[in-house]
């Protein structure tokens, strides 16, 4: 069963600007694309099974910071201009409740990346949260 994780107020999401977060060491990004549609992915790059937390953003693609595999933000598919081969990003369901975007985190998402990567993502997430609190 999915756990619904609040991400942000729908009106605060800007087209083409992903909001990335981690839940139980799994990196996710939620993106508003054309026609205000929402997309969400587990941002793990299958080229070397590394977490993109966060991915770089270039011209409507999410780019892996390690070797620059590029994924279309609207579909999660590998972009034509990608420098490396990798499988498409796993899709995640999103739901808007009371104007808040939620993503549906599933236990199976944890199996998409090695335990060492989940640990690293959790540590990075803590660092980012501290930075945000300090402002």
30, two tokens: 């939620």
Q: How far is the CB of 34 from ligand FES (least distance, A)?
A: 25
User: How many CB atoms are located within 10 Å of the residue 43 CB?
Assistant: 28
> In sequence order, what DSSP letters do the residues of the chain get, joined into one string?
--EEEEEEEGGG--BT--EEEEETTEEEEEEE-GGG-EEEEE-EETTTTEE-SSPEEETTEEE-TTT--EEETTT-PBPTT-SS--PPPPB--EEEETTEEEEEE-HHHHTTS-HHHHHHHHHHHHHHHHHHHH-
- With CB under 6 A as the contact rule, the residue among 67, 75, 100, 120 that binds ligand FES is 67
Q: Give yes or no for a contact between 64 and 78, defined as CB atoms under 8 angstroms apart.
A: no
Q: Under the criterion CB under 6 A, does residue 94 sit at the interface with ligand FES?
A: no
Name the one range near ligand FES by CB under 6 A: 1-9, 64-72, 104-112, 121-129: 64-72
Q: Under the criterion CB under 6 A, does residue 48 sit at the interface with ligand FES?
A: yes
Nearest CB to ligand FES, comparing residues 14 and 83: 83
Q: Under the criterion CB under 6 A, does residue 47 sit at the interface with ligand FES?
A: yes
Nearest CB to ligand FES, comparing residues 64 and 101: 64
Q: How far is the CB of 83 from ligand FES (least distance, A)?
A: 7
Q: Under the criterion CB under 6 A, does residue 69 sit at the interface with ligand FES?
A: yes
Q: How far is the CB of 40 from ligand FES (least distance, A)?
A: 19
Contact positions vs ligand FES (CB under 6 A): 45, 47-48, 50, 64, 66-69, 84
């Amino acid at each position: 069963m999915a756990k619904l994780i609040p991400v942000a107020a729908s009106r605060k999401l800007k087209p083409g600007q992903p909001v990335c977060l981690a839940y139980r060491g799994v990196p996710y990004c939620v993106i508003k694309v054309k026609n205000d549609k929402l997309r969400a992915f587990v941002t793990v790059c299958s080229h070397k099974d590394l977490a993109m937390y966060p991915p770089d953003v270039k011209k409507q693609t999410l780019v892996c910071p390690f070797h620059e595999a590029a994924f279309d933000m609207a579909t999660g598919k590998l972009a034509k201009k990608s420098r490396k081969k990798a499988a498409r990003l796993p899709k995640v369901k999103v739901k808007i409740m009371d104007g808040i975007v939620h993503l549906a985190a599933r236990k199976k998402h944890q199996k998409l990346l090695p335990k060492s990567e989940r640990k690293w993502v959790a540590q990075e997430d803590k660092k980012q949260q501290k930075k945000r609190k300090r402002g």
